[in-house]
Amino acid sequence: MITFDSLTLKAFVTEQESFLTGARINKIQQPTRREFIFTLRNNAETRQFYVNINPQYYHLCFMSKENAEKRLIEIPQKPPMFCMLLRKYLGNSRITKINQPENERILEFYIETYNELGDKIFLCLAFELMGKHSNVVLYNDDTNIILGCAHNVGVEKSREREMYGGIPYVYPPTNNSSANWKSLVEEFPDIASVNDLIDNYYTEFIAKDKFKVLKNNYNSIVSQRFKKVTKSLKQMEYQIMQNADADKYRLRGDLIMANLYNLKDYSSEISVYDYENNKQIQIELDSSKTLKDNANRFYKLYNKAKTSNTKLSELIEDCTVKKINLEQILYSINSSETMADLFELTDEVVSENSAKKSTKTAIEPIKLDLGGETRIYIGKNNKQNDYIISKLANEDDLWFHTKDCAGSHVLLKTQNITDELILKCAQLAKKYSSASESSKIGVIYTKRKYLRKPPKANLGYVTYRNEKEIIID
């Protein structure tokens, strides 16, 4: 990545000096600890001056509306303390002069404003773009005393240069930054504006970084839910295994009742003939209870295990559906290529109940037009899968999906079904699935009229019948 050097800053200052000098600061915003937006107006034009002091992406520029959207800037309801300080001193003030100290990555705004008593004062707002030492500093130009910084630096962080309110502002040690301006120009040879070069270049990296962070965050959230559901399933399946021999309790109760008048009450053990398994067995009893009470105790154990298994079976069914849905969401997250893809998954990621439909407009699924009346639709996530089934499909259209793994719904609309089309759709179903790298995978297909979406089911979840299967290498 090309770093923001003093030559790049000099080129920016030369190009933008006429607008910055005399500009009025209409609005000050701080989206994050390391981002600032100053709305400046001059010569009947309003522009957004963006400053980023992130150690990876430190730079400044006038930000275009298009790139502002790509940077995913969100203004917090409660501004940070430093932002409040800047608003207090700089709100509606005027930039009288700008300056770049020689060979430094520092841009200074000299500002004319008024204090609480109405006296005119002169301040300096310094933007220091120096890697991990990047900062924004406001100080009094007359006294050279710092009023505040974006990041306070105490003696424990730097012995050479402390930065916090109440101490004198001094320039950093001489910097020999590398000359990257030529590299930046070579990166975008068709862009003549220095500002646009900076804006476009860093927007690309910031957008990629935010995409990666959001993707990892979504993956982490859903993976935790997936692990939780998987663990619950294992525990319930183990409990059902424990209850598997519940019939032995019923049998013991039956054998005791069958021999009620042949045996003595209050025995610790009895020997009876097991007529179901044709053998003599020993049954341990509670010697403090009668034979009938012991039989009832075994019946209660049997009924308890039976009831437990019924409830567990229902819970296992629900958990299995949740697991399938979470696998589908994880597949959609991992296959996302743009921020728009991730945003379409937001409702499913943040909500436990993904059956709730988003109010946002869904992105259209992939559409392959093969000419004539033949079209193939591929859903990239649960919303698009649901849209394909609910809105696009007719009764006789063919639906394809990988068997027993997460993947896209593939819909074939045609007046002439051929083996070649079926194979192509099956191959697409494999390609757009979590088993895309597998050597062999089964793909099921059936007509849309044989699909059913259960009530309150998650988006994209369907049951099917009359399906056929094709194995794809």
3-state secondary structure of 170: coil
Could you tell me if 399 and 445 are in contact, meaning their C-beta atoms sit under 8 angstroms apart? yes
Q: Give the model confidence (pLDDT) of 256-293 as tens digits.
A: 998 888 888 999 999 999 888 899 999 999 999 999 99
- pLDDT, position 202: 92
Confidence of residue 304 (pLDDT cuts 50, 70, 90): confident
- Tokens standing for 199? 């804006």
Least confident of 133-147, 291-305, 343-357, 444-458: 343-357
Cα angle, residue 107 at apex, residues 73 and 65 outer, rounded to 5°: 25
Could you tell me if 347 and 294 are in contact, meaning their C-beta atoms sit under 8 angstroms apart? no
Rounded to whole angstroms, how far apart are CA atoms 141 and 153?
20
- Say if residue 242's pLDDT is above 80: no
Rounded to whole angstroms, how far apart are CA atoms 144 and 149?
14
DSSP letter at 365 equals P
- Say if residue 359's pLDDT is above 50: no
Rounded to whole angstroms, how far apart are CA atoms 248 and 305?
11
- pLDDT, position 353: 55
Q: Give the model confidence (pLDDT) of 415-439 as tens digits.
A: 999 999 999 999 999 999 999 988 8
Q: Find tokens 């209409």 and name the residue.
A: 26
Centroid of chain to Cα 117? 50
Rounded to whole angstroms, how far apart are CA atoms 124 and 101?
13
DSSP 115-126: -TTS-EEEEEEE
DSSP 51-115: EE--TTT-EEEEPPHHHHHHTT----SS--HHHHHHHHHHTT-EEEEEE--TT-SEEEEEEEEE-
- Say if residue 339's pLDDT is above 70: yes
List of domains in the chain: 6-209 (2.30.310.10), 243-328 (no CATH), 358-472 (no CATH)
Q: What is the mean pLDDT of the chain?
A: 90
- pLDDT, position 176: 55
Helices (H), 335-434: 339-343, 346-350, 382-387, 419-431
- In 3D space, the residue among 110, 136, 100 whose CA is nearest the CA of residue 25 turns out to be 110
| E-state strands within 226-335 | 269-274, 279-284
